[in-house]
Amino acid sequence: MSNVKNKKCIDNLCRKSIFANVRRNVILAFAIILSTMMLTTLFTVSGSIIKSVEQSTLLQVGTSSHAGFKFMTEEEYEILKTDSGIRDLSYNVIVGSLLNDELYEDYTEIRYTTDECAKTSFSYPEVGRLPEDMYEIATCTDVLDDFGLPYELGETLHLIIYDGETIREFDFVLSGYWEKPAATLANQIYVSKQFQETYAPVWKDAEDKEAHLMNQSYTGAINPDFNFSSKFNLEGQMADLKERLGFGPEVNDGINWAYATAKTDPTSVIMIAFILMLIMGSGYLIIYNIFCIAVSSDIRYYGLLKTVGTTNKQLKRLIIRQAVLLGVIGIPVGMAFGYLVSVVLLPVITENMLNVPCEIHPSILIFVLSALFAWITIRISCIKPCKVVKKISPVEAVRYSEYTGANLSKKKKTNKVTPFSMARENLKRNKKKSFVVVLSLSLSVLMINVTVSITKSFDKNKFVSNFAASDFTVAEGSLMNRNLSNEVFDGVSQADIEELSSIPGITDIGASYMMESQQEVEGIACERMISLYEAHTEWFVYDEESKMLYDDWVYNRHVMASHVYGVDEFVFDNMDIDAGDLDWEKFSTGKYVIVSASVKSSQDDSEYAMYQIGEKVNVCFQDGTSAEYEVMAIGDLSYAMGPQHSHGLDIYFTLPADEYLKHAPSEGAMKLFFNVEEEAYADVAAFVEKYCSEINSRLGYESRETYLEDFEDMVNVFLIVGGALSLIIALIGILNFVNLTYTSIHERKKELEVLRAIGMTRKQQKGMLIGEGVIHIILTFALVLTIGMLLNYLIVNLIAGGMIMFTYRFVIWPVLACIPVFVLVSMAIPAAVIRNI
Amino acid sequence: MEILRTENLKKYYEQGVSPVKAIDGVNISVAQGEFVTIVGTSGSGKSTLLNMLGGLDTPTEGKVYVDGKDIFGLNEEERTIFRRRKIGFVFQAFNLVPVLNVYENIVLPIQLDGNDVDEKFVNEIIDILGMTEKKSSMPNQLSGGQQQRVAIARALATKPSFILADEPTGNLDSKTSQDVLGLLKTTGAKFGQTIIMITHNEEIAQMADRIIHIEDGHVISKDGEKNE
């Protein structure tokens, strides 16, 4: 068969077909734009957030390298160098720790570094160079600020360096400096190779390492960084590397957790997949539904073309060409809008929710994916009418209607005929389409309810109380700033307490005290300890070294690491208790102790306590003395009131403050807590701010207000993002409804005329059509109020269940609030459509 | 008694320079109980005339009186109500409502009027038309002939002033056509019903009491002259 030259004819037909059904094609183009826009927004925003968070986390981690080792010997490093599976190998060497007062509250490390390592650690001099001479250093501007020095090369810094044995002081000359990125936690001071080799020679071998560690010194430790061939599954690649090199658990490895694909968290994956499916499903619903709804008129039209000799192949070409034309217009517009929406939405999300600056990172891949998805959906949707036409004769196609009622049941019980009863029966003509519309409307209502449920399930008090047990908390700076190396547990002196207690407006005040100690565990307590350790070794042991340590403590020495706390009544009243009753009067006699369980979960952990209620325990203090107390209860300080760190298999004893102070190495409190009258809040805040910055600058403070603001910001983000998503899905649902209504009325135009002929007034017809709309809404809300509520529970828990401030609250008012709106829409649209017929 | 009368009925369509005169001054009268056919070829204006007689299309000029009432003096809503009480329709394409069963289709105009159904009367019609067994069946289960019988029953059920039948056998085979026409005539006679039937088929037209010929929008006499 020869090729027929009909391309021009098909093109012409295609163009004219599009303009012949302008309304439908405009809606279709709009649907394509909407779904492409949603996908582009989703991919762009999440991609940008991931990229920005990754960047920011890299800065926090302190390196852009994929992975590295810590505290290596030269022997181990030489082996590492030979491996062909790693690239960009660089290293730094710890030179000691800094004891300057100027750097007390600004954590600073002192090292030697290679050029490459400095670059990947975001600490390469922007002005000047890395040190070369013996007494040269390079550092960041934060350090220069701490010393009150100008940013000028040649400035002198006096540093006090402790190498684990000796304290040395040197004057260094500044050879280079840089501005440390805000997200980076630690400052760096780099010394020259010459200095490092002289004062901090590298660990030669395991023996050398052991000797240093005995003195708790890391001076001379080599810390190599490197990249793998890809940043996927870093954990797996590291495990392979160690196996190749024959490195066991004695070699400390580190994966750069900044890379999102370092380790996949199943919950996050599920959440992201869920949102993605929601968006894609909604997009698919729009496009597919619009194509399907118009299928009858398409089939009749294509049937007509077939009667004049168009082949199936030509028809397919025509259909696809129309789809391409719509796609070519709709997809780029959708992508452009998607990008614009991302530009607006991203700052809103990041300012209120993430503490990292985020920039838009557009990606070709994102645009390609969005376009691909939209195109696939269009392709699937528009082929359907083509397949139907292929199967039936041209004449049948010309007369095709999905509203003939051919698919209705054979018999029907006789009922009184009213416009509403006719509406009910009409819905049965095309159950599939009705179902799709009901589904998309239900989805939108569900989304709204889920959004509100999540925000209402956020317990403000739970959130705040996790971080702040009182209006104000004052403690030594190291307990407020997690970056300081040495935590001080007695930094709030009695003088501080006296001064702060005298502030007018304080309603409650109390302190917690703490000492670290080692508890000798005997008798039944020892049996319990061994039993717990053996039953759940994996809870405490994470490598060879820790196993050796715990084995020794548990089996040989029968000891546990312990904290001994002293508390005032205010702190006592806020303790987390697993078992037993609290009685301050009895407790304050000094004869009782509260003992913690050695495991902390959100449930009752009293079974894991070494000492049970009523038993006597000989509490061992830091100074070597001990005293006997009766166990009043099993519990611990609340998270906000404690030191916010733990050891593993350990035990905490809580005594009344007076009793504690009898055995304490100092009178200093760990933390001071106080509540204030509302009217006095601002004045107290100002006083505390001044006290902690001018009078005793070693102290820091936190207030409940700050956490409340954080909470409000977080809730707002959920409302904004969830609200936007709900709005889009609601728009989709309504769009589908409009399209279904219009098409079904249009398809039954002749039938409606006949009904008018036999006496059905316009008013009655309007009632019937409105009835059809209302029935859709009734079905929608029936679905939402049954299966929907169960889904609501599941989805809300899936998204927010793991958050600390989450307490599920059943919320239904958003669904109820939607009813009048949807009913109004369901009535207005058929009324508007029939007015024009 | 005169059931239906038209006075100088005209229907012009504006098309191009000169209007198309689909109906150009038609005066007819139909008495109660008559079976009248209106015969004409394709394009003669018979469907346009039928639509105006049934109040479905507005004339350019002229009047239509049904039971003495000028139907175009009513507004659309009033005319629809009037139509469902006074005029029964039988269409070529049957036009049953697909979501209602046979019985519901028949009583539809009565129930749209909010009236109670005269069950005895309706069942009698159904019986005469031989559709008793099919009362609960849906239209998609019926043959063409059966559907047209249901349409006839629907037209009769409201006891209208007259029945308008537009090519009622157009979609039926010859035998079924004969059956349907026979039933139409029989039920008409039994219930004293006035029937006006449109057809292009001279043979079918013969079964009526009176034939009105229409050509180019005019009623013409047997000898081909226009009747003014």
- Interface touch B112/A417, C-beta < 8 Å: yes
pLDDT beyond 50 at A128? yes
Are A157 and A110 within 8 A, CB to CB? no
Residue labelled with tokens 């009105």: B212
- Interface touch A414/B135, C-beta < 8 Å: yes
Reduced to 3 states, what is the DSSP secondary structure of residue B128?
A: helix
pLDDT beyond 80 at A713? no
Interval A13-38 mean pLDDT: 76
Q: Predicted ipTM?
A: 0.82
Count other C-beta atoms under 10 Å from residue A7's C-beta. Answer: 10
- Interface touch A417/B83, C-beta < 8 Å: no
Provide the shortest C-alpha distance from residue A763 to chain B (in Å).
8
- Interface touch A404/B80, C-beta < 8 Å: no
Residue of A nearest to B81 (CA): A759
Are A79 and A240 within 8 A, CB to CB? no
Interval A195-223 mean pLDDT: 90
Out of B77, B84, B107, the one facing A762 most closely (by C-beta) is: B77
Residue of B nearest to A756 (CA): B80
Q: Predicted confidence band at B223 (pLDDT cuts at 50, 70, 90)?
A: very low
- Interface touch A425/B100, C-beta < 8 Å: yes
Out of A416, A425, A761, the one facing B99 most closely (by C-beta) is: A425
* B111 interaction partners in chain A (CB closer than 8 Å): 416-418
Are A413 and A421 within 8 A, CB to CB? no
Count other C-beta atoms under 10 Å from residue B134's C-beta. Answer: 20
Most confident by average pLDDT, A244-258, A275-289, A646-660:
A646-660
Q: Is B76 on the interface with A (CB under 8 A)?
A: yes
Interval B83-101 mean pLDDT: 87
Residue labelled with tokens 């949102």: A275
Count other C-beta atoms under 10 Å from residue B216's C-beta. Answer: 15
Residue labelled with tokens 């309007």: A766
Q: What whole-number distance in Å separates Cα of residue A464 and Cα of residue A74? A: 48
Mutate to test the interface with A, among B82, B90, B99 (most CBs of A within 10 A): B99
pLDDT (tens digit, 9 = 90+) per residue, A632-658?
Answer: 999 999 888 888 766 678 899 999 999
Q: Predicted confidence band at A263 (pLDDT cuts at 50, 70, 90)?
A: very low
Provide the shortest C-alpha distance from residue A759 to chain B (in Å).
4
Residue of B nearest to A768 (CA): B112
Residue labelled with tokens 């009909």: A6
- Interface touch B111/A405, C-beta < 8 Å: no
Interval A695-713 mean pLDDT: 82
How do B162-166 and B87-90 pair as beta strands? Answer: parallel
pLDDT at position A507, please? Answer: 92
**CB neighbours of A95 closer than 8 A, spacing ≥ 6?**
A110, A111, A112, A161, A163, A191, A195, A196, A199, A200, A219
Of A127-136, A145-154, A347-356, A688-697, the poorest mean pLDDT is in: A347-356
Interval B151-171 mean pLDDT: 89
Out of A405, A759, A762, the one facing B140 most closely (by C-beta) is: A405
pLDDT beyond 60 at A266? no
- A and B: number of Cβ contacts within 8 A: 94
Q: Is B94 on the interface with A (CB under 8 A)?
A: no
pLDDT at position A1, please? Answer: 47
Residue of B nearest to A413 (CA): B136
Q: Is B111 on the interface with A (CB under 8 A)?
A: yes
pLDDT at position A601, please? Answer: 66
Residue of A nearest to B111 (CA): A417
Q: What whole-number distance in Å separates Cα of residue A366 and Cα of residue A41? A: 9
Q: Predicted confidence band at B224 (pLDDT cuts at 50, 70, 90)?
A: very low
Tokens found for residue A147: 């010393």
pLDDT at position A717, please? Answer: 73
Are A48 and A358 within 8 A, CB to CB? yes
Q: In whole numbers, what is the pLDDT of chain A averaged over residues?
A: 84
- Interface touch B138/A411, C-beta < 8 Å: yes
Q: Is B78 on the interface with A (CB under 8 A)?
A: no
- Interface touch B99/A426, C-beta < 8 Å: yes
Tokens found for residue A324: 């391409």
Q: Looking at beta carbons, which pairs linking A531-536 to residues 24 or more positions away fall under 8 Å?
A: A532/A598, A532/A599, A532/A608, A532/A649, A533/A649, A536/A599
Q: Predicted confidence band at A389 (pLDDT cuts at 50, 70, 90)?
A: low
Of A82-86, A171-175, A216-220, A719-723, the poorest mean pLDDT is in: A719-723
pLDDT beyond 70 at A401? no
pLDDT beyond 90 at A557? no
Backbone angles phi, psi at A89, to 5 degrees: -70, 130
Residue of B nearest to A759 (CA): B84
H/E stretch holding A656 reads strand A650-656
Q: Is B80 on the interface with A (CB under 8 A)?
A: yes
Torsion region of A653: left, alpha or beta (phi above 0 gives left; psi -120 to 50 gives alpha)? beta
Strands (E), A80-122: 87-98, 108-113
Provide the shortest C-alpha distance from residue A781 to chain B (in Å).
25
pLDDT (tens digit, 9 = 90+) per residue, A733-751?
Answer: 887 788 788 878 877 888 8
Q: Is B56 on the interface with A (CB under 8 A)?
A: yes
pLDDT at position A630, please? Answer: 96
Provide the shortest C-alpha distance from residue B206 to chain A (in Å).
27
* B108 interaction partners in chain A (CB closer than 8 Å): 417, 758, 760
Mutate to test the interface with B, among A412, A755, A758 (most CBs of B within 10 A): A758
pLDDT (tens digit, 9 = 90+) per residue, B9-56?
Answer: 999 887 667 778 888 889 999 999 899 999 988 888 888 898 899 988
% of chain A beyond a pLDDT of 90: 35
Mutate to test the interface with B, among A401, A402, A407, A417 (most CBs of B within 10 A): A417
* B98 interaction partners in chain A (CB closer than 8 Å): 403-406, 408, 429
* A425 interaction partners in chain B (CB closer than 8 Å): 99-100
User: pTM of the prediction?
Assistant: 0.66
Provide the shortest C-alpha distance from residue A404 to chain B (in Å).
7
Q: Looking at beta carbons, which pairs linking A167-174 to residues 24 or more positions away fall under 8 Å?
A: A167/A99, A168/A199, A170/A135, A171/A135, A172/A131, A172/A135, A172/A136, A172/A137, A173/A133, A173/A135, A173/A136, A173/A137, A174/A128, A174/A136, A174/A137, A174/A138, A174/A139, A174/A144, A174/A149
Q: What whole-number distance in Å separates Cα of residue B186 and Cα of residue B199? A: 18
- Interface touch A751/B56, C-beta < 8 Å: no
Chain A interface residues facing chain B, Cβ-Cβ under 8 Å?
403-406, 408-418, 422, 425-426, 428-429, 751, 754-764
pLDDT beyond 70 at B143? yes
Interval A366-381 mean pLDDT: 80
pLDDT at position A296, please? Answer: 63
Provide the shortest C-alpha distance from residue A747 to chain B (in Å).
14
pLDDT at position A144, please? Answer: 94
Provide the shortest C-alpha distance from residue B55 to chain A (in Å).
8
Q: What whole-number distance in Å separates Cα of residue A482 and Cα of residue A645? A: 10
Provide the shortest C-alpha distance from residue A761 to chain B (in Å).
6
Q: What whole-number distance in Å separates Cα of residue A631 and Cα of residue B118? A: 91
- Interface touch A413/B97, C-beta < 8 Å: no
pLDDT beyond 70 at A404? no
Strand partners, A162: A97, A167
Count other C-beta atoms under 10 Å from residue B170's C-beta. Answer: 16
pLDDT at position A727, please? Answer: 81
